[in-house]
Structure 1
């Protein structure tokens, strides 16, 4: 086991793609993923798990069919399992996601934004 802290800024500097989460750590069956987002994602849900969004820098919106939540740096939101949502960021936003290992970023929705799963950085 390496006894070195994980630096979010250093890890985020290693890639530039949007909507392509990278795993930076695991705890039990959960993964901590960093992702850069910009523009609109797709409507999707995760039928078996909640999803946590923690904004590291920038601003994002999580749209729901009847409402939306605005998040800025230092804020987090939990989307409950089975709730359809669509993330959006007008400008680049850096986010930490916490979710069980194996969760696909688009849920069951087929999209060109579906990212390779379990991609470590």
Structure 2
């Protein structure tokens, strides 16, 4: 497992990715990881059978579509999607930048 002992500038990294979908590992915390995602298009419907997934929006508005409702996260807002809950994410107005916190061995099942 890679260990990080330096400052990571997530905002700078995000500014280098303006189009499409970008997702990268930022850091590890015990048996979890912190990932940066930049979205300009929706992600596919999926669920995670072995891990909750926490979203923290840094820029833009992130839509988290669940089967029964859609959550809107503005910068600084955080939401947890519990394991086994089908969901998909999308930027509301063209682009969103988000951190996700998840188990390092999280499984993703595409629907």
Instruction: Give the alignment's TM-score, normalised by structure 2.
Output: 0.84
- Cα deviations across residues 95-120 of structure 1 (Å, max 9, x unaligned)? 0011111335xx1217xxxxxxxxxx
**Count of residue pairs the alignment pairs up:** 108
- Cα deviations across residues 42-91 of structure 1 (Å, max 9, x unaligned)? 11100111001100100011111111111111111000000001111131
Using the TM superposition, name which of 36-45 and 47-56 deviates more: 36-45
Cα offset for 1:17?
5.4
Q: Distance between the aligned counterparts of 1:2 and 1:44, measured in 2?
A: 29
From 8, 18, 21, give the equivalent of 1:19.
21
Report the equivalent of 2:102: 99
**Long gaps (5+) in structure 1:** 111-121
From 85, 89, 92, give the equivalent of 1:87.
89
Q: Distance between the aligned counterparts of 1:3 and 1:38, measured in 2?
A: 30
CA RMSD of aligned residues (A): 2.0
**Long gaps (5+) in structure 2:** none
Instruction: Give the alignment's TM-score, normalised by structure 1.
Output: 0.78
Cα offset for 1:3?
5.2
